[in-house]
Amino acid sequence: MQVDLEDYARGAALATALVNTSGEVLLRSGDALDGVPALAAFLGAHGLSPDVDAADLADVVALRTRLRAVIDAVIAGEAVLDDLESLVSRGSLTLSGGKWALRAPDASVGESVALLTGVGLLGVLRTLSRERFRACAADTCRGVFVDSSRAGRRRYCMPDICGNRTNVARHRSRHR
C-alpha cells in the first residue's frame, strides 16, 4: 500500500467511519463490523478491496479501539503524537511522481488501514488543527469525527443519520 501524504482527507474520513462502526456509537444499531463480509463491504465502500479473513477483522476492530482513543485524546487536548507515529511506523517514506508518500508493500490489511488512517489524522492535526476533532452534536449519538472539510463547520459524525434525526426531531417539536 502507498499513501500520499497530501491526501489526508481520505484517511481522516476512513478513521471517522471506522470509529463510528462501533456498537457504542449509535446505541440502537449494534456493531457494523460484525463479520468478515461486513469488513469487506466497509473497506470496499472506502476504496480498498483487499481479501479479508477473520484475523484481518480482529486487527481492524482492535485498530478501531486505538483510533477512538486517539481521537478522544485529541478532543481532550492530550498529546497523541506517539500514538499516531505508531500507526504509520510500518510505512517507509518515498518520493513518487513528485509527491511524498508512505509505502508499505507487504502490509497486512490492519497495517494498511492503520497507515492510511494515521496519515489522515496526522495531516489534519498539522494542516487544520486539533479543533477539527469533535464529538457528534446529536443527543442520541456517542460518535466522534475528524472534520477535514474546507469550511470546518461539520457538527455530526454521520450527517445523513445523526444530522437528519436531529433535524426531524426539531421539526416535530416546532409543529406540536
> Per residue in 117-144, pLDDT tens?
999 999 999 999 999 999 998 888 889 9
Q: pLDDT of 140-161, one tens digit each?
A: 888 999 999 989 998 888 877 7
Contact status, residue 92 vs residue 102, Cβ threshold 8 Å: yes
Q: Which amino acid is at 19?
A: V
